[in-house]
Amino acid sequence: MHVTQIISEKCTGCEDCVFVCTLKAIRMEGGKAVILEHCTDCKDCWKRCGDGAIYSGETSAASAAGPQQSTEDWRGVLVWLEGDDSGLQPASREVLAAGRRLADDLGVYLEAYLVGGSGAARDAVSRGVDRVHQRAPAAPHTGLASAYESPLLGLIRQRQFEIVLFPDSLPSWELAPRLAQRLQTALYPPVSALTVDFETRELLGTIHAYGGTYFSEVTTGGARPQIALVRGNAFPETSADPSREGEIVQAA
């Protein structure tokens, strides 16, 4: 018996899930998706759904119970990006590059929470983001934490990304520790190298200790999501390919 379910009020009938399901376990009925009996809960569809209309009944019960859930439930990489109509900020391009490589290594989608205009969203897609959750910047002088904390927290909880990356900047320092605390997980201090263990999907980061006198390799074991800040000038940017395809959705 599968636990994957469709929230029909949220389903827009885009048929993305039907397309992504390799078992043909989703059918359209009256413009809404319906999960069929032979669904194996592989979660491909709810990682794909941009409307938050698919969820696992089992997983939401587990999240309510606290942090004791399986790392298996967490898939995908999310990066925090900033930009304007001329494109992404340099630090954001580097974080995107770091995220793209990890997503390729893990065989998952790279998604982005982008604060900025449509030019930046197109830049993000051309540089390798599969799905951009775009939103306009909050009014200046509002606290970053108050403006972006709960929408970002909602997105991470709903999609259950296994890795979330931020650039090493003031907005990240304002947001990432708060998210890590609410998600009961660790936050990697700025890393200059990132690798994943293919079996455990654990993130191994290299951090600079005592102002760079020493380097330490750190990991957080079973914690999900694995949230890390990315050092500047450590990850070469991916090149922009305007023909690359990706999805841009409006985020809260």
Nearest to 63 by CA among 225, 244, 171, 218: 225
User: In degrees rounded to 5, what are phi and psi of residue 33?
Assistant: -75, 145
- Closest approach, Cβ 204 to other proteins, in A, equals 7
**H or E element at residue 207:** strand 203-209
Q: In whole angstroms, what is the distance from residue 15 CA to residue 205 CA?
A: 38
**H or E element at residue 33:** strand 32-35
- Closest approach, Cβ 182 to other proteins, in A, equals 6
Contact residues: other proteins, CB under 8 A: 66-68, 141, 143, 145-146, 169-170, 173-174, 176-178, 180-182, 184-190, 204, 207-223
Of the pair 213, 243, the CB lying nearest other proteins is at 213
- Closest approach, Cβ 209 to other proteins, in A, equals 6
Tokens of 96: 């995107």
Of the pair 10, 182, the CB lying nearest other proteins is at 182
- Closest approach, Cβ 240 to other proteins, in A, equals 24
User: How many of the other CB atoms lie within 10 Å of CB of 121?
Assistant: 27
Of the pair 114, 179, the CB lying nearest other proteins is at 179
Of the pair 109, 166, the CB lying nearest other proteins is at 166
Of the pair 214, 243, the CB lying nearest other proteins is at 214
Of the pair 59, 185, the CB lying nearest other proteins is at 185
Amino acid at 248: I
- Closest approach, Cβ 42 to other proteins, in A, equals 25
Contact between residue 138 and residue 147 where contact means Cβ atoms under 8 Å apart: yes
What contacts 11, CB < 8 A, 6 or more positions away? 32, 33, 51, 53
Nearest to 186 by CA among 144, 230, 154, 219: 219
- Closest approach, Cβ 23 to other proteins, in A, equals 32
